[in-house]
A = this chain, B = another copy of it.
Amino acid sequence: MSDSLRGAAVIGQSGGPTAVINQSLAGYVLEAVGQERISRVLGARHGVQGLLEDRLVDLGAEPRERIEAVAKVPAAALGSVRKKPGPEEVERMVETFRRHDIRFFFYIGGNDSAETAHIVERQAAELGWEMRCFHVPKTIDNDLRVTDHCPGYGSAARFVAHAFQGDDRDNRSLPGVKIDVVMGRHAGWLTAAGTLGRRDETDGPHLVYVPERVFDPDRFLADVAAVHERLGRCLVAVSEGIHDADGRPFLQVYAERAGSALAGQKDSHGNVQLSGTGALGDALANLVKEALPGVRVRADTFGYLQRSFPVDVSPVDAAEAREVGRAAVRAAVSGDHASGSIALRRIEGGDYRSEVFVAPLESVAKVTRNLPEEFLAGDNGIAPAFRDYALPLTGGLQPMADLELIPA
C-alpha cells in the first residue's frame, strides 16, 4: 500500500433515499476539497450506473453554499441506483477510474453498497489499478452490522415516532382500530421507533409486530380484540416484512388463503411487493373488520414519507451523516487503510455522543442485523432498553399533552 497515492476521488449514492444522505455527500466534498492527495473531487450520477456510463460531475466546482443547501435536501442529489455490478461491469468501472485517474472511490449506501465497494477493491487490484475503496453507511433500516446505528435511521425514526404520536391523538379523537404499516422488510428497527413518543401504556402503538417474530394472524386478532376491549381503541404498528414460520411474507400467505388480487403484486424478481403499496395494511384491516364487526378499522402505510420527508430531520442524525462522509475521506488519505466501512460507536457515559471508526468492508457486506432479543418484549411489544438506544438518535421528542378533563 502506497502512502503517497494521489489522484481523483469519486463518490456515488446507492439504494433507497434517506433524509440525510446528502449530508454525507457534503461531508465528502468539504473534506476532500483542498486535500493534497486528491486532485479532483468528483461524483457519479446514479451510483455505479454513472461509473459505467462515464456520467461524472465535478463536485469540487460546486459553490460551498450550494453544497450546504443540498445537504439539507432529502434523497440522493447525485441520483441513486439499485444495481450490483457483475465482473464485466466492474472492469468497465475500473476503465473509468483509469481514464479519470480516480484513486479514491466512496460509495454511500447499505450493505449492498459495502459489498460493491469490496468487489471493486478486489477487482481493481487484480487489474493492477491501485485505489482506496470506502463505504459510507446509509439506511433508514438500521440493519448494518458492526456500526452502532446507521445514518438515515435517526431521521426516519423521528418521523415514524412523530407519525405515531399524531396518529395516537387521531385514534383517541375518533376511536377504533388503526393499523400503520412501517418500512422494514427484514428488520423491525424502524417499526420499533413508533413507540419512542409514548408516555405510558395507554399511548399507542399498543401492539408492535416486527419481522424478528413470526406473525400469527390469529394471535394478532386476539391481541387487537384484547386492547380494544381494554381501551376502546387500538393502534397497531406493523413492519412491512411480517411473515409466517416458514418466512413467507404475510401478504403472500393471505393471497393464497384469499385467492385475491388484493394480496399484492410481485416485483420483477418474483418477490411480493411490500413497499409502494397499501395492500398489507388493507389485508390486515380486512381481517380485523371480519373479526370485530361494527368496529371502525382503518389502515395507513407510511410509505416513502419515512425516508424523504424534508422537514423533520434529526439534528443528531444530520451531524453524524455529515461526519461519516468526512471520516471516509480522512481514512482514505491517511494511508492507514486500503479500504473500509465507516462505522459509529457510542461513547459510554454522560449525554449521548458518538465517534467514528473504520471497519473491514467484508464485516458489513451481505448480512443484515436484526433487532436483538433485549429490545423485544413478548411477541407484540418493544422493551424499554430499545428506547435508551434509539431515542438519542432522533434528537429527542416532545411528549404530547392532554387535558386534565375534570368532570363538570
A residues contacting B by CB (< 8 A) are: 13, 16-17, 19, 40, 42-43, 45, 55-59, 61-62, 66-67, 69-70, 72-82, 100, 162-163, 165-167, 169-170, 172-174, 178, 258, 260-262, 265, 275-279, 281-282, 285-286, 289, 297-305, 307-312, 400-408
Q: Is B408 a contact partner of A56 (Cβ separation < 8 A)?
A: yes
Contact of A75 among B67, B172, B299, B312 (CB under 8 A): B172
Determine the residue in chain B with the shortest Cβ distance to A69.
B401
Q: Is B408 a contact partner of A162 (Cβ separation < 8 A)?
A: no
Task: List residues of chain B with CB within 8 A of the CB of A301.
Answer: 278, 300-301, 303
Give min CB distance, A311 to chain B, whole Å: 5
Q: Is A276 a contact partner of B285 (Cβ separation < 8 A)?
A: yes
Determine the residue in chain B with the shortest Cβ distance to A158.
B311
Give min CB distance, A116 to chain B, whole Å: 16
Determine the residue in chain B with the shortest Cβ distance to A13.
B173
Contact of A403 among B70, B297, B403 (CB under 8 A): B70
A169-B311 Cα distance, complex, nearest whole Å: 13
Q: Is B305 a contact partner of A289 (Cβ separation < 8 A)?
A: no
Task: List residues of chain B with CB within 8 A of the CB of A19.
Answer: 166
Task: List residues of chain B with CB within 8 A of the CB of A43.
Answer: 403
Beyond A278-B278, A278-B299, 14 additional pairs, beta carbon < 8 A? A13-B173, A57-B405, A57-B407, A66-B403, A67-B403, A74-B169, A80-B174, A165-B310, A167-B305, A178-B276, A265-B289, A276-B298, A277-B281, A278-B282
Determine the residue in chain B with the shortest Cβ distance to A82.
B174
Q: Is A405 a contact partner of B45 (Cβ separation < 8 A)?
A: yes
Task: List residues of chain B with CB within 8 A of the CB of A79.
Answer: 172-173
Task: Report the 8 A-B pairs with minimum CB-CB distance, sorted nearest first.
Answer: A278-B278, A276-B298, A300-B303, A69-B401, A75-B169, A166-B308, A75-B173, A56-B408
Contact A407-B56, Cβ < 8 Å, known A174-B16, A265-B289, A304-B298: yes
Contact of A401 among B66, B281, B303 (CB under 8 A): B66
Task: List residues of chain B with CB within 8 A of the CB of A170.
Answer: 17, 74-75, 304, 307-308
A308-B162 Cα distance, complex, nearest whole Å: 10
Task: List residues of chain B with CB within 8 A of the CB of A275.
Answer: 298
